[in-house]
Amino acid sequence: MKSAMRVAGLSLVMGLMMVGCGGAVAETEQESALETREDAIPDCSADGTTYTIHYSDPAYTTQIGGRGCNCGIYGGWGKTSTYRQTFYDYCG
């Protein structure tokens, strides 16, 4: 009796490990939502420039994108990353 319960319990655990408790399905849904997501453009009515440059590496050697406001106009290109530098300036 005990060995039958162990086998059944082990089978259940192995099945859950192989399925991953639905993790792969949720991840796929989240990725597809990000691909079609449209964020609102930031308010650039302030008198100044705030621009963030995104880099591919922690040494900040290769630019891969940028986002920000330049004297009331929003601009963006490329990709974002965790390696970034933000610049501030005034329109004059």
- Kindly report the length of the chain: 92
| Residue 54: how many other CB atoms lie within 10 Å | 20
Phi, psi at residue 60, to the nearest 5°? 55, 45
Per-residue pLDDT tens digits for 28-50: 555 556 567 677 777 888 778 89
> How confident is the model over 78-90, as pLDDT tens digits?
999 999 999 998 8
What Cα–Cα distance (Å) separates residue 88 from each residue in 12, 28, 55, 59, 62?
57, 37, 18, 21, 21
pTM for this entry: 0.53
Q: How far apart are CA 69 and CA 62, in angstroms?
A: 21
